[in-house]
Structure 1
């Protein structure tokens, strides 16, 4: 593809190509433009215009990522916050997007953790309880579940033998 001679058109084209692949945060697009050598003022103008027309919306991006990551990857609240920060979403936007999600209360987070443990237990059937406990605790921790929830779920599901 031939590069546009106009710096604004070039920056816009870079952003649109990025957005065709998947939704991106404002910070991700800004970083891409910086890596591609786009002037910061030009980048800011293009990103402002894309936000104005609704192609770059960190709040919508965060809400969609939360829904997707909860459904597909089983992330807990801490994991979701980490993922959004990693993608450059502002803390205020993260807090607002999390507040929009009705299903992120403690009870539902616990239910999601239990479901994840139950899905993984059959593959660990022949392992000693200590090994299952360690592996499941590590899995839940990596997914961003709080440690008190991890201990409670593991204790009830593995140690107490409800799934043995």
Structure 2
């Protein structure tokens, strides 16, 4: 039973990972709820609104994040603190693009949630540079721990999607 659940979860993550790297309108977001989702429906079966927590669904805009960016393996890390309240940077934020980062997290609180990339996913084999970044903390009370690099097309796209959150060092992507 547990194996069947794990396989189902992995299948959903595989589809989500492929959609995230697929160019086109809507950024790969699903246009209808997944089978078995808990989205409310009208009697005709059509959804009444966006799925709770779906990409693009606005959140509270509350975040406490630690962001560490390394421009190269031997470079000293750049460290940022981002604290947002209702989508607005708090005074204790030490971040070069705090207003844009807080606005992005309020607009999409799931922005930093990265599902594992399926092993069969094909990505452009272009190199964007040696930069790496790690983001840890909470967004709207949910823990996040994501890492970013510029080693192929999918990783470059993931970095670009969160460039405002990564700060000025994300400009190299």
**Which structure is higher in strand share?**
2
TM-score band (shorter)?
under 0.3
TM-score, structure 2 normalization: 0.21
Q: Which structure: larger Rg? A: 1
Compute the TM-score of the two structures, normalised by the length of structure 1.
0.22
- Kindly indicate which of the two structures has a greater share of residues assigned to helix: 1
